[in-house]
Structure 1
Amino acid sequence: MNKKTVLITGAAGFLGSHLCDRFITEGYAVIGMDNFITGDKKNIVHLLEHPNFQFIKHDVTEYINIDQDLDYILHFASPASPIDYLKIPIQTLKVGSLGTHNLLGLAKAKRARILIASTSEVYGDPLVHPQPETYYGNVNTIGPRGVYDEAKRFQEAITMAYHRFHGLETRIVRIFNTYGPRMRLNDGRVIPAFMGQALRGEDLTIFGNGLQTRSFCYVDDQVEGIYRLLLSDYSYPVNIGNPHEITIKDFAEEIIKLTGTAQKVIYKDLPIDDPLQRQPDITLAKELLGWEPQISRSEGMIKTFNYFKNLSENELYKSEHKDFSSFNSK
């Protein structure tokens, strides 16, 4: 029996690389695709010699040609941290629009099922709490975060258009805050930011008053939910995240306790349109997929801390000032 083949875009990124691992473990032939704008080759270096793994360096906003038959496509190519999408706003919009269009066309040509990685950011700064899939969101379309939020909202719209008009098999996962090994230490997201500051002996920076909430899902749980959704028969968006909510202030105290450091917490102004609450309603995922998170935050944070504390001194102090000029506004 021939192996099924899956194409994973954003394969060298945090979530994409973990998905490559999972599908290799499940016996699939995996084609990874990335242009390394935010991904890192070190995340997939352990797979490069694997007989069931093939890597293609490519920007999905350009025409995509794959010679092999494809059974599944997982579209995870996109900047995902505020540092990235605020520096490369046009590329962020392009990967959500042109990139998604290219991959939907490829899925149609290959008669493949496609899963699109959306985000809880489609809910914006929510007026409904927790957020169910039926909530349409509260998004500032022209604010600085709009380049990411609207890219993902358009991504969902064009995916459903292909599903309805072409009968394409589609899946949409709305990903809530996810963490674990292979996150970039200084990418601007809460966990790697706090971890990096603690390991460098710096004060932990909270934006706003710290009473805003987040809900953190460990990467293994996230990957399990995505895998089950892909193999389900449900075409509409599904929230995959951990519903256990915590304030940023309380979370900073957890990090200080975990790392055994003695830093204080300092406060800075809240960025424009930063959501004040974020908690998934996972009722649909429970009913549809039989899925809910299994790894507690305390367990997941120990695993994540052990990964970060083993980084080299160069990685620990490296800034995230990448040269994005060649990607930005072509």
Structure 2
Amino acid sequence: MSAKPTANAAFAPRKPRLTLKDVAAALDVSRTTVSNAFNRPEQLSEALRADILAKARELGYFGPDPAARALRSREIRQVAVVFHHDLSFALADPLSIEFLRGVAQELDARGMTMQLIPKMGRTVSLAYAFQTTADALVVYAEVDADLAPEVKAFSKPIVLVDTGVTGVPSVRMDDRAGAAAAMDHALKGAPDRVLVLSFTLDERQRKHRLDLKSPRSGSVTMERSHGYVGAAHKAGFDLDRIDWLEMDDNKPADEIDRITDYLKQLPARTKLAVLGMADTMALVGVEALRGNRRLDVTSIVGFDDIPAAGAAGLTTMRQDGALKGRLAVRQVLDGERSDPLPFELVVRNT
């Protein structure tokens, strides 16, 4: 009976990587000769080069370490993307997939690769991200004001996506204007109340959510909140008739019970409009209202226009996630500035 491997067997130290010096010593030639065999073949005869490559393979040496060579040349040909959630979200969320697809399309065309740095816990760890060996950094995550000095001090090319720091290039849509357009559409149905399914906020943000004179910020959540509020105020809609329900955008489907509890508290025949800061949230609202006969639902409006929105007939604000990814790469590598990305109200069944 064979012995079971120890718990640490999987973490046994790897054998040291062979170097040019090791191969040269084993073949009794100079390091320069071995280097030429891999990097400058025109410097050697075909026979000598073939002999060196064959013997190097026998030793288990297959060429210089590309990472070390890239570090020496200071060109990795890689762009790092700091992502605003963990990896499982990045590979499942429809809008995030579209954004990463756009980044990949632009990098593929340049023969470059992508490094994905997920969010660490509840906050973006820029100190960790700034250690990347990549040539440039795309920050697809909300950057709070207290992180602005770190962002400005970063020594490599950097671009922010869906957030903003004064003096740092960014790619984003006008979230405030997009949210205002969504509210304008919702108010056409003359609702008694409006329910906003919102991204989560901290206490400071909640305090200023209804501030009609708020300056532009780097927060998507605050910009969309101010867009909703500003449009409602302009239309003469009482802001006290706007209800806010914050949802975990990582798992919006888990919030359906909270929406159902809210709906039960409304008087029968209340005319209700629902605005979701993301389609994934609005679609949970659609599900919570399925089969409803107590309330008069005047409209449900999402944000993003993911594929599921079209399939469900959801009215939404469309933005092009793939275009956003492509523009982010062009800006960080070429310095190509972009205007705020376009948005479009797509009216469907809701």
Write 1 or 2 for the structure with the bigger share of helix: 2
Query: What range describes the TM-score normalised by the shorter chain of this pair?
Result: 0.3 to 0.5
Task: Tell which structure's C-alpha radius of gyration is larger.
Answer: 2
TM-score normalised by the chain length of structure 1: 0.37
